[in-house]
Structures are given as C-alpha cells and as structure tokens.
Structure 1
C-alpha cells in the first residue's frame, strides 16, 4: 500500500536502502505485520501488494481448516477472547447448559433440561427465544438462503440478478472452500449479503466452547477474506440448534446477531420424498397470503433443485400480496457487516482482516481492528510514511549519504506528517 504512493525516485531510494540493511528489512517486515492485525494463517505483510493467494488455488485452500468437520485449531486471539468472557462469567457453565447428546434417531437430549426450557429454547424444536430474531417487522419479508454455496443455487442467483432481489446467504464455510466459484458468482451480484452458518454444519449445542468458537470464527474469516474484508454481523444456527451457552459465545466473542426463522416451509423434505413440492408450496403460499403482522423470515435452502424451484415459483406471490421483500439486515435498517455502515457497503476492504470483536465498556462491540477503507487504515498508512522517512534517514546516515538522503528523509517525513494531519 505504501509503495504505491511513493514517487518513482523515492521508491528506488527506499528499496536500495532497505536492501543494503538486513536488520532494517526485519524492522520493515515487523512494522507491516503489526499493522492491522491479519489473517491467522499468514502475516499481515503477506496479504499486501496483491500477495493474497488466488481464490481456489492450493495455497488459498491451505489457509483454512479441513472440510466438513469441526476445526481443531484456531488463532490464539480467538481463544484468548473466549477465555476472557468465560472468566467474566458471561458464558453459562456446562452445569447450567450441558453439551447436548445427539442420538442415532436424530433426537437430542440436554441433560435434565428440555429443548424448550428457557436455558435452551431451541428454535428447531419450535421454541422462540427473546435472544434470537425470528420475525420481521410488520409487512416485511426477509429473504435468506441456507447451506450454500451449492450447485442448485446457481440458477437461484441468476434469478436474483434478473429480478433485482437482495438476499442474505447463510453460508457454510466448508462449502465456500469446495464451491468457491459459486460463491464468487453470488458475491458479484449486486445486493447480496453474506452471513455465517458455521464451518461444518454441526448441531452447535453438541460442541464444546472451543469448537463453537472455531466453527463460527473460521466461517467469519473465510467470508471476510474473500468478500473484500467485510466482517459478517449475523449468523444462523444449523437446524436451529442453539442454547444460551452457544448464544453467549457467539455474541460475546464475535458480536454476532442470532437469526432464526418463521415460518419453516420444510422445502428440504421434498428432495428426500417426505413431502411433495406442491404440498410445501400450498402451505407456504397460505402463510404468505395470511396476516402481515408479524412479518416473515422464511427458512429456505439451496440444497436441492426442488427447494430452489419453490422460491422461484413463490416469489411473485410475495409481490402480489404487497410484502416489502428484502435481505435480513435491511429489515431493521441495520449494518450489513460489522465494519460497514447501514445498507449495502460502498467501502471495499482488503482481505485478511481480524474478526474478533471485544465488547466495549459501554456494552457495544468494536467492529474490528482494521475498519476503514483499507486493511492498514489511513492513519496507519500515514504513520508508515513517517516511519519510512525515519528509516531511510537512518540508513542514509549509516551509508554516509548525508546530502541526498537528508533531502529524501525530509520529503518523506513531511509527506507522512501532512497525511496524518489530513486524516
């Protein structure tokens, strides 16, 4: 970033000086690596100057955990954030919210608690927690699609683009790695909003605290890395399986809002033969024709051709019935991402941002360590200009090039100071 702003004669002098001083090279690298946090798998300097791996390349895939299983590794910053909120008593202990057991028949048990008890209130079992958001404002319908990016979604994305539909995509991190081309297709369509659906689509109440952090954190990271540095602000638990322990971890460590749904059209039953497509459509259309208070956040998927068909064939009815149709955050005029203003972001950030968002003293969450128009930020870039001047001057003195280097350090330092003042 810095080098792009330097005139050619300054750039040549800086590079010549740095190449002559191995110790100074280490200092420059350290300065770049400290600026703006960075991706846990590679230093801050590695993502600058077009060095972020090409999406889909082996180097890019190596940045992320194995697919379809809970990640076993995570950046220390995420673990530190978890330990901090645990120490503050912000996460219910396992004695209050035990890890659930998933039985072979698909049922779950929560120790001595019921799935609809206040400590659990599992949306997938029909319980509506006040800590979750499951309904839209009156007259509004939130469009969201779960489990992508997947092949059946390609046709849906084409429909979104043709109809100018703005939707929220609750993405599975493993599927982003596997189907990165489909992700890029969706990302490049105006009006598409991306949110978290975990890394490997587990029942989150069956995970340890550390596994919950890794599932959420890695999905946030891959979306931020590959969606211009925009940090997700919303998540949806797979199967609606969530309890107060998981809610607290996701809220306190990452500052995400939990989005569930109402109604569930059960589009996933069609592909496996448990319900006909017509039956699903009839029930869903009856709800769309019903009262407009509260508003709707239907649960819909891109897991099958039939599920995509149901949305495409039902969407015209949304408009005929007078629903105000939009993506999830626009239902409440909220920011789409943690480091963007309300509405579709106009600022595109660099990849590799830090996603951990500690709670401020006033109870709100910091957006990220790297908000702003670039991963370095304007202030950091200005400071680096000043540092460059100081370092060039130091090397000049060391090499005995006092005249030319003295003029150079003055020009660069003044440039850095003016830039800092302006921003």
Structure 2
C-alpha cells in the first residue's frame, strides 16, 4: 500500500510539474473564438505539411449543425450518428462495472464548481475540451490536470466535423492541441467529435493526427443535460436513473461512457446529482484511459512529463455480490490523468485522504 501511495504521489507531482512548465497563453496568437480556423494561416500551412492526407475517403461533405442524415445513406460512410456505425471508435468502457465519466464543451467558469465536487468525492473524469474555451480559461485547464483528471479534445469551435474539409479538421484539432499544450505541456491523444458527428473520412484525418475517437454508449447513456432548461432537471435525473437501473440489472461485463457537459451551472449542478446515482449502485467511476487500460494517456511530443497509469492504482471497492446482499459500500475511481485510486477500509481512506491533502498543498504552492 505504501509503495502504491508513493507512486500515486509521484504521478500527481508529475502532473503538477507539467502545469508549472506551461507557456503563457496569448489569445491574440490564436484564431477567432467559436469560428472555424482559416486553413491558409502560416501555422496551419505548416501543420498540413507534416501530414499526408492523400487517400482520404471521397465522401460528400455534409451541411447543417448538426447535419441531417443523408437519404439514402452513403455507401461505406460508416456514419455513427445516422448509421450507428462506430468502426473502431471507442464506444464502451473496457472495464466491467465501470462508468466512464466524461464532460464535453468546457472549460467554463462553472467547471470550477464541478472540480471542487470531484475532488471532494475523489472521482476522476475525462474532460473533452473546446480549444476556444481553453484559451479563455487556461487556469481551469491547468487545475484539471493537477487535480488528476484526463484532458482530451472536443475541437476548436464545436462545428460538426463531417461538414468540414479535411484541412479544416486539421486546423480544428491542431489549434486545440496547441492551446492545451501551451496551458499544460500535455499533447492530447483522445477526442470526441461534436454532436458525435463522425464518419470514415473524418476518422481518416483524425488518425493521421494521432487521435483516438471516443463516442458514448448510445442514447441510453446520453444524460440529456444539454437540453436543460427546455428539459427539466427532474426529467434528466429520471431518464438517466432508468438507464443506470437497466445497466445495474445486467451482468455488468463491460462498462459504459456517458455524455455530460460542464457547459454551465445547470449541467454542472445536475452532474453532482447524477454521479451519486452510480455510486449508490456500486458502479465504479473512471476516466477514459483507466477504462481503456492505457498507461500513456497523451501523445508523445509534449513539453511536460507524461502522467502514466502503472503504480497509480490504490483500491476502494465493493463487489457486486456485496451490493446484492445489501452490504453498505461506496465505489469510486479517481486518478492522475488516467490513474485510478481505490481505498478499502477506514485506515486506507485516512491515509489516502492525507496524501491527497498533501499533494493539494504542494499544488497550491506550485501554482502561486
């Protein structure tokens, strides 16, 4: 246990070091916010020279935000949102009995409240970041990293990727990559397409850039938080409760990825009510790299030490059989940019809590 805890501290200190090594972000150095970046800028031209886009599938560019489904479907497009075709996208958490916790569209000013909650409950998540928002709130992104969360891309401007040219997709991804690199020193590896809008042409470009697409586990695990306030919070909670009940009654042989957002106070508020529903059903909670058993959650080429999973696992867990017998328990998973922490028993929780507090103090000193 001592060795594992020590390794966890090491990983967290590496994350802190990565933030300390960041470059100051100047918004003037970036494209206009919330707009598709031009592809003729010197920076994008340089990026395009680094990759070979020849051989990309010749699939018609769609229109709309999000696009309507083509009728009839386009042959060999493998359009996830319309055909249900995921190709080799990640759609399920590999770990059994595990909720892959993800948040899209941030960071926003309300993300801080979510981070406070996740820290209190010792839960780690993956944040799919919009590049425009990273430039506006780099300090929040730094905190996400130092708090042990995993960072991933949600493009620069949140435009549907099947509506963009190959070159525009490169610009969307690389500007976001640069913004996160400037803020944390970490080079992103995972991404989620806005609206889940992805087909084989988009996948081709993303793979050329070294990205792994992560969708979510179907409509049942879309929390619909993005529909608030048109959809009442009670409806969001009721709908997702039914999905969790259905999952809890299954054999839980694989996990799932949800769709949540840290976009505003409403989505952040409902997240703090949704997460306890999973805990009450003894479902483990983890970030994407923990779900995927990926010990290298970022691409090489960053300017900071890469947090890794080995040695960063400490256990706090209750079995499904305990749940069925009615034994009280709490299951959570936290981690250091992909590492998970589990603790078992009062003494382990006490030691783990002390470690987290110590690291938090160090983080505070580093970031002052």
Contact 1:101 1:109 in 2 (8 A): no
Which residue matches 2:89? 132
Distance across 1 between alignment mates of 2:116 and 2:240: 23
Q: 1:154 Cα shift?
A: 1.7
* Ranges in structure 2 where 5+ consecutive residues have no aligned partner: 1-19, 301-305, 313-368
Distance across 2 between alignment mates of 1:178 and 1:131: 33
Distance across 1 between alignment mates of 2:207 and 2:178: 16
Which residue matches 1:218? 175
Contact 1:135 1:294 in 2 (8 A): yes
| 1:325-404 matched pairs, under 5 angstroms | 325-334=285-294, 335-339=296-300, 340=306, 342-343=308-309
Which residue matches 1:66? 32
Mean CA deviation greater in 334-343 or 230-239: 334-343
Correspondent of 2:126 among 162, 168, 171: 168
Contact 1:99 1:205 in 2 (8 A): yes
Distance across 1 between alignment mates of 2:22 and 2:150: 23
SS of equivalent residue, structure 1 residue 119: coil
Whether 2:71 is the aligned partner of 1:101: answer no
Q: 1:128 Cα shift?
A: 3.8
SS of equivalent residue, structure 1 residue 289: helix
Contact 1:336 1:345 in 2 (8 A): no
Distance across 2 between alignment mates of 1:179 and 1:276: 28
Q: 1:185 Cα shift?
A: 3.2
Which residue matches 1:248? 204
How many residues matched?
276
Contact 1:265 1:298 in 2 (8 A): yes
Please give the per-residue CA displacement for 1:90-133, whole angstroms capped at 9, x wherever unaligned. Answer: x112xxx1100217xx54254x6527x6414233x471412211
Q: 1:210 Cα shift?
A: 0.6
Greater relative contact order (CA < 8 Å, ≥ 6 in sequence)? 2
Which residue matches 1:205? 162
Q: Is the alpha carbon distance of 1:236 and 1:53 closer, same or farther for their aligned partners in structure 2, counting shifts above 3 Å?
A: closer
SS of equivalent residue, structure 1 residue 307: helix
Q: 1:217 Cα shift?
A: 0.8
Please give the per-residue CA displacement for 1:117-155, whole angstroms capped at 9, x wherever unaligned. Answer: 6414233x4714122111112211111100000122221
Correspondent of 1:192 among 126, 149, 152: 149
SS of equivalent residue, structure 2 residue 170: helix
Which residue matches 2:49? 80
Distance across 1 between alignment mates of 2:187 and 2:311: 11
Which residue matches 2:256? 296
Which residue matches 1:397? none
Q: Is the alpha carbon distance of 1:51 and 1:284 closer, same or farther for their aligned partners in structure 2, counting shifts above 3 Å?
A: closer
Contact 2:152 2:189 in 1 (8 A): yes
Distance across 1 between alignment mates of 2:21 and 2:257: 40
Which residue matches 2:24? 54
Q: 1:333 Cα shift?
A: 1.3
SS of equivalent residue, structure 2 residue 257: coil
Q: Is the alpha carbon distance of 1:194 and 1:344 closer, same or farther for their aligned partners in structure 2, counting shifts above 3 Å?
A: farther
Distance across 1 between alignment mates of 2:166 and 2:244: 38
RMSD (Å), alpha carbons: 2.4
SS of equivalent residue, structure 1 residue 62: helix
Distance across 1 between alignment mates of 2:193 and 2:80: 10
SS of equivalent residue, structure 2 residue 260: coil
Distance across 1 between alignment mates of 2:22 and 2:263: 30
Distance across 2 between alignment mates of 1:63 and 1:315: 38
Contact 2:22 2:181 in 1 (8 A): no
SS of equivalent residue, structure 2 residue 31: coil
Q: 1:305 Cα shift?
A: 2.0
Q: Normalising by the residue count of structure 1, what TM-score does the alignment of the two structures yield?
A: 0.61
Which stretches of structure 1, 4 residues or longer, exceed 6 Å deviation after superposition? Answer: none
